[in-house]
A and B are shown apart, each in its own frame.
Chain A
Amino acid sequence: AQKVTQAQTEISVVEKEDVTLDCVYETRDTTYYLFWYKQPPSGELVFLIRRNSFDEQNEISGRYSWNFQKSTSSFNFTITASQVVDSAVYFCALSEDGGATNKLIFGTGTLLAVQP
């Protein structure tokens, strides 16, 4: 069965601190995709990154970086030098290639509060 676990419900940091959001997933498929979405206070879901199961290269985009480790079924997200605008709920999600529709299975989200 597929499942995504985000054990951190809430994280509070002070601006300019680095912060890592954890994501652990479960799937029986060998081909799958992992995603991070950001939900700011305005409520929309903003796509941040997609990773497929065959690509374990870490990725960096500006202050954001992602660490994908199949050995531990984790796909963690780090924000370097956090800013107040990073305050949001962050969702990790999984989609399996073998499914009929690639539906997204979301974790419960991590609320990140960045204090000035």
Chain B
Amino acid sequence: EPEVTQTPSHQVTQMGQEVILRCVPISNHLYFYWYRQILGQKVEFLVSFYNNEISEKSEIFDDQFSVERPDGSNFTLKIRSTKLEDSAMYFCASKDRGGDTQYFGPGTRLTVL
């Protein structure tokens, strides 16, 4: 069964460093998403991406964040200068054109020291 994959599973970085989180969505899906879950809290929407552009972003998704689909398979989330409060689990999800269900990857746990 096709699935969303994410790498790395755990990333540790120093405050102020740039990080790139990678996702490979399900191959025939067209809508891509990033969500964030701070430890012990709910899952929050960050950004959605369709047709090679951002279609919606939340107030969390400020200028420090960017997304890219550099090729036909990868979907990345970049945080330019990490802060302590960026420590969280980051989930990638994808959805096909006619579907309503988003399928999630296993997540990347980001720890900012």
Q: Is the interface of B mostly helix, strand, loop or mixed?
A: strand
Please give the distance in Å from A99's CB to the nearest CB on chain B: 7
- The 8 A CB mask of A79-111 against B (1 = contact, 0 = none) is 000000000000101010001111111111100
Which of A50, A95, A104 has most B Cβ within 10 Å? A104
Contacts of B33-77 to chain A: CB distance below 8 A = 33, 35, 41-45, 48, 50, 55-56, 58
Residues of A within 8 A of B41 (CB): 108
B56→A101 contact, CB < 8 A: yes
B56→A109 contact, CB < 8 A: no
A64 in the interface (beta carbon within 8 A): no
Measured in the bound complex, the distance between the Cα atoms of B100 and A47 in whole Å is 12
Please give the distance in Å from B69's CB to the nearest CB on chain A: 15
Contacts of B57-113 to chain A: CB distance below 8 A = 58, 89, 91, 93, 95, 100-107, 109
State how many residues of chain B have any CB contact under 8 Å with chain A.
Answer: 26
Please give the distance in Å from B31's CB to the nearest CB on chain A: 7
Please give the distance in Å from A44's CB to the nearest CB on chain B: 5
A103→B42 contact, CB < 8 A: no
- The answer to whether A100 and B56 touch (CB under 8 A), given A44-B104, A45-B104, is yes
B33 partner, pick from A43, A103, A109, beta carbons under 8 A: A103
State how many residues of chain A have any CB contact under 8 Å with chain B.
Answer: 24
- The answer to whether A107 and B42 touch (CB under 8 A), given A95-B100, A102-B95, is yes
A101→B43 contact, CB < 8 A: no
A102→B43 contact, CB < 8 A: no
Which of B41, B44, B102 has most A Cβ within 10 Å? B102
List residues of A whose CB falls within 8 A of some B CB: 33, 35, 37, 43-47, 50, 52, 91, 93, 95, 99-109
